[in-house]
């Protein structure tokens, strides 16, 4: 059963009628309704295209959070061979909000770090909706240091509303863990390529995305705070999230213009959740090409490239 967002109601109505007619045809109804089905399918496809060519920033935020959108685990299953997960931070415990380990990406040994939200009630609780505690970021640091030691490129998949803001996380040093994870990214002598596959929220995202190359899916978002959080602070009303999203410049199209990210990966019409396999392969192609640009470069050159990227943000900015 496909999930529809609020603004997709016209599409839901049309596609619902298509399914009703197909069920009627399958029941052996003597009337030929193939033409009617074809016309409705054409109308639904046109409505989908019309809506998705003029999405507002708030609607893009809703698409980025779509429950059927492919998550980090789906990318691992399709892109990483010989996957070996590595758990725990060797300090406090395991944090399933971040999945990390080693594997082979299109013939190249790599380390992978991904934020996993979960796809149903049970897995969302287990993965804490992708909101990591300090042990999650310390696990990420451990994997990055391991990758650096064995000269393995790092791929990170970003999808979080932000780091977990609970008391227990604060007691264990949440801010320090995020800062050290960001520092670990900057220290790497191997390339790191990051892709925002859904939500990139605040320091919780940048902690594993301070990379040589950062890409975003077409309908993903990346921001210093969620629209709801910004609305609560600025207007004392989280219901104004739509206004906040409009003014925060959180979309991939805004961020590539500002030089914060390096490129946008196209999604099929209707979003990544309508053709997850196609999107995963597209991400794989972009990551493969990005990693190839660092072949033959020294560790110092790779660090310098990353440094230049972040120092250049904000220079010659044309708003």
What is the C-alpha separation between 227 and 120, in angstroms, rounded? 24
Q: What is the pLDDT of residue 31?
A: 58
Q: Is residue 318 part of a domain?
A: no
Instruction: Report whether pLDDT(83) > 70.
Output: yes
Do 42 and 87 have their domain in common? no
Are 115 and 248 in the same domain? yes
Q: What angle do CA 103, 169, 75 make, to 5 degrees?
A: 25
- Same domain? For 34 and 75 the reply is no
Whether 141 maps to a domain, the answer reads: yes
| Residue 1 belongs to some domain of the structure | no
Residues 34 and 164 in one domain: no
Asked if the structure places residue 319 within a domain, the reply is no
Residues 36 and 184 in one domain: no
Is 254 a member of any domain?
yes
Predicted pLDDT of residue 3: 86
Between residues 318 and 221, the one the model is more confident about: 221
User: Residue 86 above 90 pLDDT?
Assistant: yes
CA gap 190, 181 in Å, rounded: 15
Give me the mean pLDDT over the 8-13 stretch: 90
Assign 222 a pLDDT band (cuts: 50, 70, 90).
very high
Q: Which residue has the higher pLDDT, 55 or 1?
A: 55
Are 242 and 266 in the same domain? Answer: yes
Does position 183 have pLDDT exceeding 90, yes or no? yes
188 sits in the region (left: phi over 0; alpha: psi -120 to 50; else beta) called: beta
Q: Are residues 43 and 85 in the same domain?
A: no
pLDDT at 243: 92
Indicate whether 319 pLDDT > 90: no
What pLDDT does 316 receive?
66
Q: Do residues 255 and 238 both lie within one domain?
A: yes
User: What per-residue confidence (pLDDT) applies to 94?
Assistant: 95
Residue 266, classed as helix, strand or coil, is: coil
**24-38, 154-168, 223-237: least confidently modelled range:** 24-38
pLDDT at 44: 87
Say how many Å lie between the first and final Cα of the chain, rounded.
42
Q: What is the CATH number of the domain that holds 208?
A: 3.90.226.10
For residues 54 and 60, what is the distance between their CA atoms, to the nearest angstrom? 10
Residue 152 sits in the same domain as residue 22: no
**Domain membership flag for residue 316:** no
Q: 11 and 82, same structural domain?
A: no
User: Measuring CA to CA, how many Å separate 104 from each of 45, 142, 263, 278, 281?
Assistant: 38, 19, 24, 20, 15
User: Using one digit for the tens of pLDDT, what is the confidence trace for 94-141?
Assistant: 999 999 999 999 999 999 999 999 989 999 999 999 999 999 999 999
Q: What is the DSSP string of 91-121?
A: SS---TTEEEEEEEETTEEEEEEEE---SSH
Q: Is the pLDDT of residue 32 over 80?
A: no
Are residue 259 and residue 153 in the same domain, yes or no?
yes
Domain shared by 209 and 251, yes or no: yes
Domain count, the chain: 2
Local confidence band at 317 (pLDDT 50, 70, 90 cut-offs): low
Query: How high is the pLDDT of residue 29?
Result: 58
Say which DSSP state 317 is in: -
pLDDT at residue 310, as a whole number: 92
Q: Is residue 43 part of a domain?
A: yes
pLDDT at 298: 97
List pLDDT tens digits, range 247-283: 999 999 999 999 999 999 999 999 999 999 999 999 9
Range in 19-23, 192-196, 281-285 with the lowest mean pLDDT:
19-23
Determine the structural domain holding residue 150 and report its residue range: 61-311
Which of 201, 195, 198 lies closest to 264, judged by CA? 195
C-alpha–C-alpha distance, residues 103 and 83, integer Å:
4
pLDDT at 35: 76
Average per-residue pLDDT for the chain: 92
**Sorting pLDDT into bands at 50, 70 and 90, what band is 223?**
very high
DSSP secondary structure string for all residues of 270-310: T-GGGSHHHHHHHHHHHHHHHHHTTTT--HHHHHHHHHHHH
């Amino acid at each position: 059963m496909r999930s529809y967002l609020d603004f997709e109601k016209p599409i839901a109505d049309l596609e619902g009628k298509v399914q009703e007619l197909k069920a009627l045809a399958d029941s052996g109804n003597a009337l030929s309704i193939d033409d009617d089905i074809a016309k409705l399918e054409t109308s639904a496809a046109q409505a989908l295209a019309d809506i998705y060519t003029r999405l507002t920033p708030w609607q893009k935020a809703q698409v980025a959070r779509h429950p059927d959108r492919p998550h980090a685990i789906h990318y691992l299953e399709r892109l990483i061979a010989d996957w070996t997960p590595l758990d725990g931070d060797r300090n406090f415990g395991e944090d399933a909000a971040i999945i990390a380990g080693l594997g082979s990406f299109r013939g190249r040994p790599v380390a992978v770090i991904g934020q996993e939200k979960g796809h149903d009630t049970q897995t969302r609780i287990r993965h804490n909706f992708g909101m990591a505690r300090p042990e999650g970021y310390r696990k990420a640091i451990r994997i990055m240091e391991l990758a650096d030691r064995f000269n393995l490129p790092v791929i990170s998949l970003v999808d979080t509303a932000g780091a977990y803001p609970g008391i227990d996380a604060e007691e264990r040093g949440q801010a320090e863990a995020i800062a050290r994870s960001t520092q670990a990214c900057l220290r790497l002598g191997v390339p790191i390529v990051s892709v925002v596959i859904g939500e990139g929220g605040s320091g919780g995202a940048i902690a594993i995305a301070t990379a040589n190359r950062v890409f975003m899916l077409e309908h993903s978002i990346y921001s210093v705070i969620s629209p709801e959080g910004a609305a609560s602070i600025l207007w004392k009303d989280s219901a104004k999230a739509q206004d906040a999203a409009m003014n925060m410049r959180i979309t991939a199209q805004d961020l590539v213009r500002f030089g914060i990210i390096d490129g946008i990966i196209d999604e099929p019409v209707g979003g990544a959740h309508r053709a997850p396999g196609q999107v995963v392969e597209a991400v794989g192609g972009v990551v493969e090409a990005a990693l190839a640009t660092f072949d033959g470069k020294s560790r110092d050159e790779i660090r310098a490239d990353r440094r230049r990227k972040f120092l250049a943000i904000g220079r010659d900015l044309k708003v």
